[in-house]
């Protein structure tokens, strides 16, 4: 049996108050593209932050590439794009510099970038369609292009697992398509993806499995649910979460 890339077992996760997630279990195996869906505030971001050790878990366990999280050190194997991080942030960095910062975990801060670094940065810029903007300050890019630059930064590290928190939220259609193309290339090369999404849009054909978070737990783990409203379609195949409640309206896909 292959070792799961991510293994969450009976995890409880929260902040100062009561746990946001209780008894959550999730396995992601190599090559899967798993979308975490759910209503606003349901705990989607909390789940992926717990996977990365950014929020401590109160019970249960998280294992990455077969290693318990507390002993995991191979962070170069993971690329992470957090939610709504302004790539510009007033910093006069160029697009190429932002993307090149994704190589730091691989090469170490003190070693100057080599040919492999430059090639990985160029490939990542090309994958998201920003090669022609490489020398421009990130602050001059649109929001969608800045988001693409952050995704290129994660790709430049040549990770095996990409963890993305709402990568296409508020992103223009062109950038969504560019992002979907970059992700397809990553997956075709054997990459694994865990992403939080509110709207799947052009990502939908890439998603191999959907996990729906609701009321502190995972209420569905399987096929991508049909959007609410499609239930009236004559050839609509019913896919319902394993819960008593009607799921329609929990997410908009």
Ligand X SMILES: Nc1ncnc2c1ncn2[C@@H]1O[C@H](COP(=O)(O)OP(=O)(O)OP(=O)(O)O)[C@@H](O)[C@H]1O
Residue 49, token pair as written in the block: 């932050």
15 binds ligand X (CB under 6 A): yes
Among 34-42, 104-112, 136-144, 151-159, the segment contacting ligand X (CB under 6 A): 34-42
By CB under 6 A, residue 42 contacts ligand X: yes
Selected binder of ligand X within 5, 7, 19, 44 (CB under 6 A): 44
CB distance 184 to 131 below 8 Å: no
- Complex with ligand X: residue 207 or 212, whichever CB lies closer: 212
Q: 203 phi and psi, to 5 degrees?
A: -80, -20
* Nearest CB to ligand X, comparing residues 134 and 196: 196
Given candidates 45, 63, 158, 192, which one binds ligand X under the rule CB under 6 A?
45
38 binds ligand X (CB under 6 A): yes
Query: Residue 228 burial (CB < 10 Å; 0-12/13-18/19+)?
Result: middle
Q: Tokens 């505030």 appear where?
A: 41
**Tokens 């878990």 -> residue:** 57
Backbone dihedral angles phi then psi of residue 23, each to the nearest 5 degrees? 50, 50
If the CB atoms of residues 117 and 165 are measured against ligand X, the closer one turns out to be 165
Stretch that binds ligand X, among 44-52, 66-74, 185-193, 239-247 (CB under 6 A): 44-52
Which tokens sit at 50? Answer: 């717990």
- Residue 41 contacts ligand X per CB under 6 A: yes
Size of the site for ligand X (CB under 6 A): 10
Q: Which letter does DSSP use for residue 96 in this model?
A: H
> Closest approach of Cβ 243 to ligand X, in Å?
17
In the complex, minimum distance from the CB of residue 39 to ligand X, in angstroms, rounded to a whole number: 7
Distances (CA, A) of 201 to 54, 63, 86, 175, 253: 28, 30, 22, 12, 7
**Which residues sit at the interface with ligand X, rule CB under 6 A?**
15, 20, 38, 40-46
């Amino acid at each position: 049996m292959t070792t799961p890339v991510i293994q969450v077992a009976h995890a409880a996760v929260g902040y100062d108050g009561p746990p946001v997630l209780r008894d959550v279990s999730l396995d992601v195996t190599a090559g899967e593209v798993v979308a975490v869906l759910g209503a606003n505030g349901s705990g989607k971001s909390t789940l992926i932050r717990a996977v990365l050790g950014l929020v401590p878990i109160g019970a249960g366990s998280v294992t990455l590439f077969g290693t318990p999280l507390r002993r995991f050190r191979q962070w170069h194997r993971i690329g992470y794009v957090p939610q709504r991080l302004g790539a510009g942030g007033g910093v006069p960095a160029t697009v190429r510099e932002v993307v090149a910062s994704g190589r730091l975990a691989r090469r170490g801060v003190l070693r100057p970038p080599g040919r492999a670094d430059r090639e990985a940065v160029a490939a990542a810029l090309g994958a998201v369609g920003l090669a022609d903007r490489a020398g421009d300050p990130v602050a001059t890019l649109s929001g969608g292009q800045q988001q693409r630059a952050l995704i290129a930064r994660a790709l430049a590290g040549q990770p095996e697992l990409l963890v993305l928190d709402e990568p296409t939220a508020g992103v223009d259609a062109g950038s969504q398509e560019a992002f979907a193309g970059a992700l397809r290339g990553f997956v075709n090369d054997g990459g694994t993806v865990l992403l939080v999404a509110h709207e799947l849009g052009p990502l939908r054909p890439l998603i191999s499995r959907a996990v729906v978070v609701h009321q502190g737990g995972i209420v569905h783990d399987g096929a991508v649910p049909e959007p609410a409203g499609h239930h009236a379609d004559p050839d609509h195949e019913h896919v319902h979460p394993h819960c008593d409640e009607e799921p329609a309206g929990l997410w908009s896909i």
